[in-house]
Amino acid sequence: MSQEPKRGHFAKEEGEIILREHEYDGIQEYDQKLPNWWLFTFYGAIVWFVIHWGVYYYTDFFRTPQERVKQEIVAVQQAKAAELEKTLATLDDSTLVHEWATKPEVVSAGEVTYLTNCTACHGADLSATISAGGNKVPLPGLPLNDHQWKFGSKPMDLFKLINVGSPPESSGHNGAKMQAWGQTLGPKKVAEVTAYLIAKLPEDFKDIPAK
């Protein structure tokens, strides 16, 4: 090379070639000014990163439909848990018998729920049978009018069983178990259907002091 290149830190003008001052193990480094188009692409990428990062993590803009569905499921579950907590705050044996089961509108709402969801296994008359050709054919559920309660005989025992289904330790009735109705119906409807059952049951079941 005929001419020694200029030494310095950075090239400041386009076309200028600088030999940088440092040298390691005999290795030296040139510097040239980067073209503006390259620099602006680089700075633009940094700005884009910041915007994208903010939008991605702090807004819903880039959520996939799957993630949105998951979010909604979580919201529904939280709403149900909150509703259950609210219902349970006032629900006990006494209120079920003396408040829920004495209100005609609650009982008839419970009847609609029962006829839609429960008759198939427990029968329209709670006997867990259906009449077919003069015979009583058993249905999969337990009779609810036989004065025998497998999981507790208090009104709240019924509410809890209907809400969360057969306990894990139950081997079921002929192998069949009760599903957790609270998940599909929600606690309010479960309380209504419990009120409907209580209203249909004999007086001794309701022998619970009023508050």
Q: Give the E-state strand segments of 14-120 in sequence order.
A: 17-20, 30-32
Query: Which is closer to ligand HEC, CB of 84 or CB of 193?
Result: 193
Compute how many other C-beta atoms are within 10 angstroms of the C-beta atom of residue 195. Answer: 27
The C-alpha atoms of residue 158 and residue 198 are separated, in whole angstroms, by 9
Strands 6-8 and 17-20: parallel
Binding string, residues 80-119; x marks residues near ligand HEC by CB under 6 A: ----------------------------------x--xx-
129 binds ligand HEC, rule: CB under 6 A: no
Which phi-psi region, left, alpha or beta, contains residue 147 (left: φ > 0; alpha: ψ -120 to 50)?
left
Which residues, at least 6 apart from 184, have a Cβ–Cβ distance to it below 8 Å?
A: 117
Task: Label residues 105-135 b or e (16+ Cβ within 10 Å = b).
Answer: ebbebbbebbeebbeeebbeebbbbeeeeee
**Residue 157 corresponds to which amino acid?**
D
Smallest gap from Cβ 196 to ligand HEC, in A, equals 8
122 binds ligand HEC, rule: CB under 6 A: yes
Smallest gap from Cβ 72 to ligand HEC, in A, equals 25
Find the angle CA(106)-CA(187)-CA(163) to the nearest 5 degrees.
115
**Binds ligand HEC by CB under 6 A, chosen from 191, 193, 195, 199:** 193
How many residues contact ligand HEC, by CB under 6 A?
Answer: 26
Q: Among 17-25, 62-70, 77-85, 162-170, which window interacts with ligand HEC (CB under 6 A)?
A: 162-170
149 binds ligand HEC, rule: CB under 6 A: yes
Q: Taking the CA atoms of 126, 130, 136 and 142 in sequence, report the sign of the dihedral they define.
A: negative
Q: Among 33-41, 88-96, 130-138, 150-158, which window interacts with ligand HEC (CB under 6 A)?
A: 150-158
130 binds ligand HEC, rule: CB under 6 A: no
Q: Among 11-19, 81-89, 101-109, 176-184, which window interacts with ligand HEC (CB under 6 A)?
A: 176-184
Smallest gap from Cβ 155 to ligand HEC, in A, equals 10
Binding site for ligand HEC (CB under 6 A): 114, 117-118, 120-122, 140-142, 144, 148-151, 158, 161-162, 166, 170, 172-173, 176-178, 181, 193
